[in-house]
Homo-oligomer: A and B are copies of this chain.
Amino acid sequence: MSVFTKVTPQELSAWLKGYAVGALTDLKGITAGIENTNYFVTTTRGRFVLTLFEKLTAAELPFYVNLMAHLASHGIPCPAPIADLNNSLIGALNGKPATLVTCLSGVPVVAPKPAHCVLVGSALAEMHLAGQSYRGDLENPRGPKWWRETAPRVMPFLDKMRQDLLQSELEHQSRFHFHDLPRGPVHADLFRDNVLFRKDARRLRLGGVIDFYFAGIDSLLFDVAITLNDWCIEPGGTIEPERARALLEAYRAIRDFTPGEREAWPVMLRAAALRFWLSRLFDFYVPRPGELTHAHDPEHFRRILESRRAGPEAL
Contact = CB atoms under 8 A, between A and B. Distances in A.
Interface of A: 19-23, 44-46, 48, 69-70, 73-77, 80-87, 89, 100, 102, 119, 122-123, 126-127, 129-130, 132-133, 200, 205-206
Contacts of A123: 45
B75 A21 contact: yes
A73 B77 contact: no
A102 to B, nearest CB: 8
Given A44-B205, A46-B77, A73-B73, 14 more contacts: A20-B74, A21-B75, A44-B119, A45-B77, A45-B123, A46-B200, A69-B73, A73-B82, A74-B82, A74-B83, A75-B102, A83-B130, A85-B130, A86-B133
Nearest to A128: B20
Given A45-B206, A73-B69, A85 B21 contact: no
A132 B85 contact: yes
B45 A85 contact: no
A80 B82 CA distance: 13
Contacts of A87: 133
Contacts of A102: 75
Nearest to A130: B20
10 shortest interchain CB distances as A-B pairs:
A20-B126, A87-B133, A20-B130, A21-B75, A75-B82, A73-B83, A74-B83, A20-B74, A20-B129, A85-B129
A82 B80 CA distance: 13
Contacts of A76: 20
Q: Which of A48, A84, A85 has the most CB of B within 10 A?
A: A85
A187 to B, nearest CB: 14
Nearest to A81: B73
Contact of A122 (B44, B82, B83): B44
Contacts of A122: 22-23, 44
A205 B46 contact: yes
A57 B122 CA distance: 34
A283 B122 CA distance: 48
Contact of A20 (B20, B75, B84, B86): B75
A205 B132 CA distance: 37
Given A122-B22, A126-B21, A45 B75 contact: yes
Given A86-B133, A133-B86, A80 B74 contact: no
Contacts of A69: 73
Q: Which of A44, A75, A81, A132 has the most CB of B within 10 A?
A: A75
A123 B19 CA distance: 12
A20 B73 contact: no
Contacts of A81: 73
A289 to B, nearest CB: 38
Nearest to A72: B80
